[in-house]
Structures are given as C-alpha cells and as structure tokens.
Structure 1
Amino acid sequence: MAEPLVTRRLVYHLGGYDPVAPQAAYQRFVRELRRFTATWSVMATASAPIIEADVASWHVAASGPNWRAEIEYRLMRWDDVIEAAGRQPMWRRVPSALFAFLDFVAAGALWGYFRTNWRYAGFFLYPFVLFGLLAALAGGAGTLVTRTTESPIIGLCAGLAALVLLMRWPAERLFLPLLFDDWIFSRDYIRRRDAVLDPRLDRIARALAASVRDGEADEIVVIGHSLGAVLAVDCLARALRLDPGLGKTGPRVSLLSVGSSLLKIGLHRRATRFRNAVEHVASAPQIFWAEYQALTDVMNFYKSNPVADMGLRVPGRPVVRVERIRRMVDPARYRRIRRNFFKIHCQFVNGNDRRAAYDYFMLLCGPLSVERQVRYADGAVSAIGADGALRESAADVPHVLGNPVEMSR
C-alpha cells in the first residue's frame, strides 16, 4: 500500500551557534526558499514571521501541479544567548576559551576527534592555533618596542595593545571571537550552566509533546544543524521523558541532524547527561532519525556514526547519509564558497541550485515524508518531475534497501 503524501508538516528547527536575529533568519529563509522554487519548478510562499521569546514562526505553502503541502516552521531562538556571550569583554573571553580548550583536551575529546574525523580535530585546533600566532605577533611587537625604548613596561603595554588590535582585526574577520564563544558555550553546556537555555528547551519539549498529542500535522520534523543538532537531540529526549509513547500514535516524528556537532559534545568524557539523551532518542524506534554529513564540511563528522562512536549500543541508529556539497550548488558558486568553511557548512540549511539527494527545503516542504526521502537513493530527484509534479510511480516505489552510506558515495 502506498504511503500517504504529507499535506501538513510541523517543523522545529534548531540552528547552530550563529548570532542571527530571527528577522534576519526569516529573510535568509525566504531568499533560499526562492532558490528552492527555481530548482524544483515548484511554488512556495512564506507568511510574515511571528517573533516570540522562545520561537520565531511562520507558515509556508508549497505546491506542485498535483500536490500541496502546508508547513508550520518554528525556529527555536537562542540568538539572545549567543549575543549575550558576544558582549562579554575579550579579557574574560580569552581565558575562558583557553580553559575550555584545556578541558576538552583533558577530557579526551581531542583524541576522539582525531580518531573519528581528523578534519574536525583541525577545526577544533584552528582558533587556538590562530590565537597563538596572534599572541606571538603581539609579543614580537612588544619585544621590539622594549628594545627600542629600553623600557619593559612600555614594551608590555605595546604588546598588549597590539594583541587588542589583532583581536579586533584580523581575528574577527577570521571568526576567532565567535569560535571562542562556541567552545566556551560547549563546555558550559556539558556542565549544565546555562540558566536561559535549559528552561527554554523544557518549554520547547512541552510544546513538541503537545503538538504530537494534538495530531493536527501529518508529520513532525525536528531538525538540528551544527551545534543545534545537540539541542535537537536534547529537546527530543526531554519530550520523550514527558511522553514515553511520543510518536507511537498520531503524526510521524522524525529527527534530522545535519552537518551535526553531536560528537563534539558526545566525545567529552564528562558529557554523560548528553550521551544519555542520545541513547534515549536512539532507543525510541518510533522516532525516525537520519544524519546527513559531507566531506567538504570540516565542521561535521564525515563518515561517522554518532551513536556508535559514543560507545552506545543501539544498532542501526541513526540512518547515516553522506552527501556531496558539490552536487547541490552551481559550479561557479561552489568555486566561490569551497574555501569558506562557514558557507559550506551552511549549505545544509540553504537552498540548492541543483536537484540533489539532500535538499533542506524539499525535506521540509515537499510532499514525501522525510523517511521516504532519506531512504530513496536520490532523495526526491526521481519522484519530482521537471515541471514540479509528483510522478505517479513515486507513490508506489518502495523504500530503498541497503546501507545508505554506501549508496551515497
């Protein structure tokens, strides 16, 4: 029997460590939605956003010649948490970041990064190596001034002034302050210190559980990008504690972790609470969970299984798909962004220029369920015609069998 098409979908999106205000996030969504409509020859419009303390939400209507889907999109806010961290003076952020670095090294996380994905180990080391180079430059300037003036005090002041200037530029251009804040937050999250985010996740979890009980949607999708994947798993685990039967009846519930940082947290020896949350979600068979990864994205763990690599024994979870960013974007645009690891990383939540097995907007706005798109070798490519119509044969195509990781190479 053919699986029913999705006509109503509720999406909870948890973004990464990116200080983007909800209005700006909405504008980016609308811009990328236009790219989606051009690529897939479909129509889609978004309503004006409603911005609240915990979420920013808007409705999307997407359609092709023979299908239509209504989507309620809820963006969980934590831009205020990120912005507050960015307002901290640098004299406090630098030592906190260095302490976080030592903490992750001492807790075995760095060795875990090398073991599972050496590119991510390089990403971890990048801000601290960069800071070391900038500190060395500042120290050299201070030494030169000391020799010129024969005054160690003047030399010390000159060195500190040089470091302050270097932390303004080029450090900000190279994302150093943001990356420092990212690792400081990650350490604090492991030790459960955030007084704002923790109760917010509880409220989102309650809303999610209520949405499943209401049963108004055909499908509920929780999607986490980058560090937001950690929060997505955390939130879903809280919802499962509120309602252990979540997803067994009513709407299908799916979890998507894309370009995720699950192992960033999970490989830290002290992250017991988070690993318990991962195991709780992975052990709920009624929740479909897929993980998307890409080689060129240094900010995810390419060709890894986050559950297995945390030492959790829940076989077959999640379904891991390895995709290629190159296949998603126009060749000219790919050449422009390939060396910008933030832009590559964000392609997981942007619109594609080319039809590909992974497409953020097709997963969230298309007529096929998330699970069907994940299990098809080419996503929705074979199911959607050149005119944007759902091909009649797509209704009867069975899920692809086999190892999705192998199929996507």
Structure 2
Amino acid sequence: MPGFDPREPETYWGLFRRESRLAAVRRSMAITVSDPERTPDGLALDWTVTLDGAPTQYTLLRWDDIVRARFPRSNGRRLWEVPALWLRLLRVGYLRPFRREARRFARVIIGVHFIYLFLVVLSLAVAAGLAALAPVDARPWVFLAVPPLAYGILAVLMRVTRGKPFYVAHLVDDTAFTHDHASGADTRMRDRLDAFADIIRGAEGRASEIVVIGHSSSSFLGLEALDRVLTRDPEFGRRGTPVSFVSIGSVIPWITLDPRAIETRAALARVAASDAIVWLDVRAKWDWLSVHKRNPLSASKLPAPRAHRPVEIHVRIEDLIEPRIIARRKWNLFRMHFQLLMSSRDPEAFDYIVFVAGPEPVHGLIRRWRNVTEQPKGCAVAETDPD
C-alpha cells in the first residue's frame, strides 16, 4: 500500500522492475518481473516477481484516485481549510506531543506550513506594492484589485514550490488528508479500506503467506485494513496461512496523536495485540518524512506494547546508496523517503526486493530478527530508536 501519492500505479511497477534489475546484478540472482495487470475492479495492480525460480505475487492496492481528488487542492480551499485545521490542533494541544514524538518530521510539517504562510503574506505584499504603483487618480479603487491579484500570485508561487525541495502543496494537502481521515471526514478512504480488507482476506488459503506492506501514510492505513479483516474474521491468520504486516517509513503518531483519531488508535491497539499477525517496522533515522523515535503505541499514548510489537530494524543509509549520492540527495526529502523501497548497494544489507521476493518467508525473517540471532548487515534490532 503506497502513501499519499497521486501517480499512476504503473509508476511503482516501473520502480520495482528497475530496482529488481539492480538487485539481480548486485547479488548475482535471477530476478524477473512480469508486466503489470490492473484488476477488473480497478482497485489493484498485480505483477509477479520471480527470484531464482520462485514466484511471488505482488499486488499494489490503489488509492491514487482518492489522492488526486485532494491534491492539489485549489488555493481557495487551502486559504480556508489550513487555518481552520491548525486552530483546531492548537486548541486540543496536538502540537506539543507531535513535536516531542515526531521530532524531525514535525519540523518538516510545521516548517512547510510556515512556508505556506510566508507565501500567502508575500502574495498580498507584492499585490499591494503593485497597486501602490498605480497613478494617484486611480486610487483607492485600484486597491480593490489586490485580493484577486494576490490570489493569482499565490497560485504561481504554489506551483513553483510544489516540487523539490519544498513540496509545499503536497505536504500541506497530505496533512489535511491525514487529519480529515482522523476525524472521519474522508469517507471515500473508509470505503476503500473496506475493499482492501476483502482483497487481503481473500488471499488466505491461496498463498503460502500474506504480507501487507504499508509505506508512509499507509503505515496507519495498512493497520486499519488489517483491523477490518480481523473484525470480520477473528480467525484470520490462524488457519495455516501466516500473516505479516510491514510498516516502512512509518508516520503512525502523526495521525494517532490527533484526539479525533479514535478509530485509528483502536485499530493500532487491536492489531498490535493480535498474535496472529507478526509486525515488522523498518526504520531509518535519516528519513525526515517518517516518525521513528519510539514504539508507535507508546508514541500514541497507548498502553505499553508487548515485547517486539512491532519488531524494529534500523537501516543505515550508507548501506543503501554510495556516499557521493547521499550528499546529492540528502535534502531531496521525498527521494530519501522512497529509498527503503529500493535495492541496496551492499549485497548483505536490507534490500526491499530480496526481502519481498527472496527464498526465506517474510514471517520467518521477522521471527528470526525478533530473536536477534541474525539480521542484515547495517541493521540494528531494537525496541526503541537508538537516536
């Protein structure tokens, strides 16, 4: 399950195929990736990855259409909704625990919103300055043009800062989606999670194991989908098909610290308590767009979790890409956020492609790492972030 991304699902297939070719060369493995195929209902994109003769079905669960309906929003909606959201979050005391638990991620989110505020003020200032240049006999009527002129200037500035390195529109709209989902205002996502739960549940008995992977915002959406499965079928995962949940680039406390996120917190608690589902959290303290300081339950002010719920591995960026590339990419926050979904340069380090399609079952890997008897080079298994 991908994060808040409006791109077509074939983009992820292309990324997976490219990284599979790199992994094959780096590890001297035979890896092939089939052409993608959209399901008739349009909810998923399927392909098969075959590693040394062993096939794995990879299904991308789609919600890119929901993202496109929300991003980019019109500037008029942002001008109304952003202040309303932050007034609510300030009123309920959200910011202090968010800054404490999320640390660098909170700096990014809050910083981007300050950039957005600066762009709004700058637009007004430039529009007022242009109006002041008008002939004296045109005043004061010319100042009536300031609001529409400022709106046009803001539209240009938002387009300019939409991509790297700022991603202003993306992160502002992503924040709005996250808190709308927390409050239940976004019903389309709820319906989509119901459909995802049916797809996941339908794989039981047909596969040797089921692995649900949630990247970025889908770290909490994946939990909610699995919780829906468990609610409908309490015996899910106990009939012989092992089930694993893998969160990568997790942002769980981003939503669960919102007092309105009652359903998400309940889903987090129930999945964490289920011994039918093993849970791995792949963490990277160099990823500024993830929350990795503490266990997500403790960070969400929920009762202390049982040991190894989730199992945590911490991945070093030096084992994934070369130092010269790190220097070039370190401030491209979205590119770094996707790094854990790519092949690693070190053949012995954590590698997403081999992790997904390798010969050892994912649930077996998680249980082995839980016992801390062996883990990938460059990974530390711990219950708290060493940073």
TM-score normalised by structure 1 residue count: 0.84
Q: CA RMSD in A?
A: 2.4
| Distance (Å, rounded) in 2 between the aligned partners of 1:271 and 1:202 | 18
| Distance (Å, rounded) in 1 between the aligned partners of 2:96 and 2:237 | 37
Where does residue 210 of structure 1 map in the other structure? 202
Residues 1:189 and 2:181 are matched in the alignment: yes
Contact 1:206 1:242 in 2 (8 A): no
* 1:325-376 Cα shifts (integer Å, max 9, x gaps): 2221122222221111111111121222223543211221111222443405
Residues 1:100 and 2:85 are matched in the alignment: yes
Contact 1:108 1:269 in 2 (8 A): no
Residues 1:369 and 2:386 are matched in the alignment: no
Where does residue 236 of structure 1 map in the other structure? 226
Contact 2:214 2:221 in 1 (8 A): yes
* 1:42-100 Cα shifts (integer Å, max 9, x gaps): 1111111111311111111111xxxx431111100001111122254221233223323
- Among 67, 71, 74, the residue aligned to 1:82: 67
Give how far 1:380 is off: 4.8
Residues 1:248 and 2:233 are matched in the alignment: no
- Matched position secondary structure for 1:85: coil
| Distance (Å, rounded) in 1 between the aligned partners of 2:191 and 2:384 | 40
Where does residue 169 of structure 1 map in the other structure? 160
Residues 1:225 and 2:210 are matched in the alignment: no
| Distance (Å, rounded) in 1 between the aligned partners of 2:99 and 2:125 | 32
Residues 1:58 and 2:47 are matched in the alignment: yes
Q: Which amino acid aligns with 1:354?
A: D
CA 270–124 in structure 1, closer or farther in 2 if over 3 Å, else same: same
* 1:122-154 Cα shifts (integer Å, max 9, x gaps): 022022111122122222212322332253224
Residues 1:298 and 2:288 are matched in the alignment: yes
- Among 321, 326, 332, the residue aligned to 1:340: 332
Q: Which amino acid aligns with 1:59?
A: T
| Distance (Å, rounded) in 2 between the aligned partners of 1:59 and 1:43 | 14
| Distance (Å, rounded) in 1 between the aligned partners of 2:300 and 2:14 | 37
Q: Which amino acid aligns with 1:56?
A: L
Gaps of 5+ in 1: 1-13, 383-399
Contact 1:256 1:290 in 2 (8 A): yes
Gaps of 5+ in 2: none
Percentage of identical aligned residues: 27
How many residues in Structure 1 have an aligned counterpart in Structure 2? Answer: 372
Which sits farther off after the overlay, 90-99 or 301-310? Answer: 90-99
Contact 2:294 2:384 in 1 (8 A): no
- Matched position secondary structure for 1:60: strand
Contact 1:223 1:257 in 2 (8 A): yes
Contact 1:107 1:270 in 2 (8 A): no
- Among 111, 116, 130, the residue aligned to 2:96: 111
Superposed, which structure 2 residues align to 1:345-356 within 5 Å?
345-356=337-348
| Distance (Å, rounded) in 2 between the aligned partners of 1:406 and 1:305 | 6
CA 143–309 in structure 1, closer or farther in 2 if over 3 Å, else same: same
Give how far 1:160 is off: 3.1
Where does residue 55 of structure 2 map in the other structure? 70
Give how far 1:193 is off: 3.0
- Among 376, 379, 382, the residue aligned to 2:375: 379
Q: Which amino acid aligns with 1:120?
A: F
Which sits farther off after the overlay, 155-164 or 174-183? Answer: 155-164
Which sits farther off after the overlay, 159-168 or 277-286? Answer: 159-168
Contact 2:293 2:384 in 1 (8 A): no
Where does residue 38 of structure 1 map in the other structure? 25
Residues 1:28 and 2:6 are matched in the alignment: no
| Distance (Å, rounded) in 1 between the aligned partners of 2:291 and 2:321 | 21
Which sits farther off after the overlay, 148-157 or 134-143? Answer: 148-157
Residues 1:271 and 2:261 are matched in the alignment: yes
| Distance (Å, rounded) in 1 between the aligned partners of 2:34 and 2:169 | 35
Contact 2:350 2:377 in 1 (8 A): no
Contact 1:293 1:320 in 2 (8 A): yes
Name the structure, 1 or 2, with higher relative contact order (CA <8 Å, separation 6+).
1
- Among 159, 166, 176, the residue aligned to 2:150: 159
| Distance (Å, rounded) in 2 between the aligned partners of 1:160 and 1:200 | 34
CA 368–177 in structure 1, closer or farther in 2 if over 3 Å, else same: same
Give how far 1:377 is off: 6.5
Which sits farther off after the overlay, 220-229 or 188-197? Answer: 188-197
| Distance (Å, rounded) in 2 between the aligned partners of 1:273 and 1:207 | 21
Give how far 1:155 is off: 4.0
TM-score normalised by structure 2 residue count: 0.89
